[in-house]
Amino acid sequence: MNLVIILLALAAFQSVHCANILGIFPTRGRSHYIVASSLMRGLAEKGHNVTVIASFEEKTPPKNGTYKNILITHPSDVKKFDLFALEQMNFVTFTMTINFMGNYYTEAVLSHPKVQELLMSDQTFDVVIVEQFVDDALKVFAYHYKAPLVLFIACGSHSWINPLVGNPGPPSYVPEQNIHFRQIRFLDRLRNTIVYIFGELNRNLLFFPQQEKIMKKYFSEAPALNELVYNASLVLLNSHWSTNMAVPRVPNMVDLGGIHVKPPQVLPQDLKEYLDGAKEGVIYFNMGSVLQSVNFPVEKREAFIKVFAKLKQKVLWKWEGDVLPNKPANVRVQKWMPQQDVLGHPNIKAFVTHGGLLSLIESVYHGVPILAVPVYGDQVWNSVEASTNGLGSYVLYGDLNEDKLEKTLKDVLHNPRYRQNMKIRSKIMRDRRHKPIDDADYWIQYVIRYKGATHLKVPGLQLPWYQYLLLDVALFMLIVVLLASYLCYYVTKIVLVKLHLKVRRRNKDKRA
């Protein structure tokens, strides 16, 4: 009898320890996938059985656990957008563009033959992880597999995720996409609030209905999308207080910022010799995997070339073309470089970046000051936040010219406070009780053990929006104040009228 109990206990433990995990990451953005891949590979290395639906294929699957990759091919590509033009979009046009991309990716996943084959199979999953990036209909996978829903987001908490778990995100100090402010002034708060309200209206009145229509096309029996999107058991955030603003967190939100970061490895010999031989140091320039510098307009490209030509430092430029026109003698170009290994070299003096969160995290980890040239999305607030914390400076892409670039770059290179602040932030990032993947593994197993861990969900999720915002209470108090004011007015009026009549009567008696 005791042996049976022990075997059952071991089986129960094994069923939780080695979980079947489905991850869905449809976004055609390399930076998104890098973080998602670090999470899913790490879970596989922990011994879990992992299935990943993504727009990228894992070339070297993990050795532990099992790792199945379902590649989502796209007939068109996000890179066909002129991404540099996004900087000129107002928040309305930007939102509509993101809506279109989200609907496209959602349809691409649900309609894919391999995904349909998975859905029709007898495969079961203990937990479903969905990237939260304008693809809310994909939360239906958790409903289909009757599994806890875990949301993953490639940045920190903001209005795209906060309402879904009842996390406070007041627009008084939590910036929206493309909003940047160093000081929380009235006009900044007003502009941020307008964008926030527009985003909420778009999400509930336009985007959610579009997503529900797509979902019902493939899951006609599913409940209303409004029931699914607020059912997350856990949120995994690619953020950390070493790089992101300190903001509120409800209990089922977990920071994993830096999960993709690795200690520097040995560089290719030619690149190592180039960096080792830079007596005055090296400036590393990389605009990311999507915003390629080869697509710069000529005037922007020439601004960089002219400024770099004046420097005594070497410049290592990730240039995706075969030839860089007018390349200065101190500039070396390559189509690809191991960025983390480069940033880990002691001769790197500054990192010229687009302000993407992964690049910011890597620069903080390695203690390298940044000069950011943000173009769109969270690049702007990442850059402003880094500047506010004294980790570097930034020039908005629309404001970029030779004079501003030269002045800002020289400040980053020669002001020692940036590197000092970076070293402190690097220490903060490394000062953790557990590795991010260990936290992710623990909390994913936690929500499996407690069948969704509903005890972590805040009661605010059960309230309608007008109750959550206390509008009914405010209306009640306003009515009470108005009634009290009217009662005071009415009583005062009666008293004054009676006094007036009494005075008139007295005067009349005196005249008589």
Residue 491 CA, distance from chain mean position: 58
Measured at the alpha carbon of residue 74, what is the angle toward residues 72 and 78, in degrees to the nearest 5? 115
Assign 380 a pLDDT band (cuts: 50, 70, 90): confident
- Which pair of structure tokens corresponds to residue 31? 């930076």
CATH of span 269-430? 3.40.50.2000
- The residue among 365, 394, 441, 412 whose CA lies nearest residue 180 is 394
**Domain ranges across the chain:** 2-259+435-457, 269-430, 471-512
pLDDT at residue 179, as a whole number: 67
pLDDT at residue 88, as a whole number: 67
User: Has residue 505 got a pLDDT over 90?
Assistant: no
Residue 157 dihedral angles phi and psi, to the nearest 5°: -75, 135
Assign 139 a pLDDT band (cuts: 50, 70, 90): very high
CA distances from 233 to 43, 392, 476 (A): 18, 37, 34
Instruction: Note the pLDDT tens digit of each residue in 401-418.
Output: 999 999 999 999 999 999
Residue 1 CA, distance from chain mean position: 52
Q: Which residues contact residue 240 at a Cβ distance below 8 angstroms, ignoring those fewer than 6 apart?
A: 255, 256, 257, 258, 361, 429
Instruction: Note the pLDDT tens digit of each residue in 169-207.
Output: 888 888 876 666 666 788 888 888 898 889 889 999 999
Assign 295 a pLDDT band (cuts: 50, 70, 90): confident
pTM for this entry: 0.87
Instruction: Note the pLDDT tens digit of each residue in 430-471.
Output: 999 999 999 999 999 999 999 999 999 999 888 888 888 888
The tokens 């985003």 sit on which residue? 199
Q: Which residues contact residue 170 at a Cβ distance below 8 angstroms, ignoring those fewer than 6 apart?
A: none
Residue 41 CA, distance from chain mean position: 20
Give percent above pLDDT 70 in the chain: 92
User: Has residue 246 got a pLDDT over 70?
Assistant: yes
User: Has residue 10 got a pLDDT over 50?
Assistant: no
Domain 2-259+435-457 in CATH 3.40.50.2000? The answer is yes
Specify whether the CB–CB gap between 347 and 282 falls below 8 A: yes
Give percent above pLDDT 90 in the chain: 65
Mean of pLDDT values over 65-86: 71
pLDDT at residue 8, as a whole number: 45
Most confident stretch, 23-37, 57-71, 110-124, 166-180? 110-124
Strand partners, 20: 49
Residue 331 dihedral angles phi and psi, to the nearest 5°: -110, 130
Q: Which of 57-66, 102-111, 340-349 is predicted with the least confidence, judged by mean pLDDT?
A: 57-66
Which runs of consecutive H residues, i.e. helices, occur in 112-224? 113-120, 140-145, 162-165, 186-201, 208-218
pLDDT at residue 312, as a whole number: 94
Assign 80 a pLDDT band (cuts: 50, 70, 90): low
Cβ neighbours of 262 (radius 10 Å): 13
Rounded distance between C-alpha atoms, residue 139 and residue 229, angstroms? 7
pLDDT at residue 423, as a whole number: 96
Specify whether the CB–CB gap between 434 and 112 falls below 8 A: no
Rounded distance between C-alpha atoms, residue 461 and residue 39, angstroms? 27
**Cα atoms in the 13 Å half-sphere on the side-chain side of 399:** 13
User: Has residue 229 got a pLDDT over 90?
Assistant: yes
What is the torsion angle, in degrees rounded to the nearest 10, for the CA atoms of residue 306, residue 307, residue 309 and residue 313?
Answer: -170
Strands (E), 187-323: 232-237, 253-255, 282-286, 314-318
Q: Which of 267-271, 416-420, 502-506 is predicted with the least confidence, judged by mean pLDDT?
A: 502-506
Specify whether the CB–CB gap between 95 and 198 falls below 8 A: yes
Let me know if the fold of 2-259+435-457 is the same as that of 269-430: yes
Specify whether the CB–CB gap between 351 and 371 falls below 8 A: yes
User: Has residue 12 got a pLDDT over 50?
Assistant: no
Q: Which of 7-21, 59-73, 476-490 is predicted with the least confidence, judged by mean pLDDT?
A: 7-21
pLDDT at residue 378, as a whole number: 83
Strand partners, 232: 149
Assign 2 a pLDDT band (cuts: 50, 70, 90): low
Rounded distance between C-alpha atoms, residue 70 and residue 55, angstroms? 8
- Which pair of structure tokens corresponds to residue 325? 């026109």
- The residue among 98, 58, 66, 69 whose CA lies nearest residue 81 is 98
User: Has residue 17 got a pLDDT over 90?
Assistant: no
Q: Give the containing element (helix H, strand E) for 396.
A: none
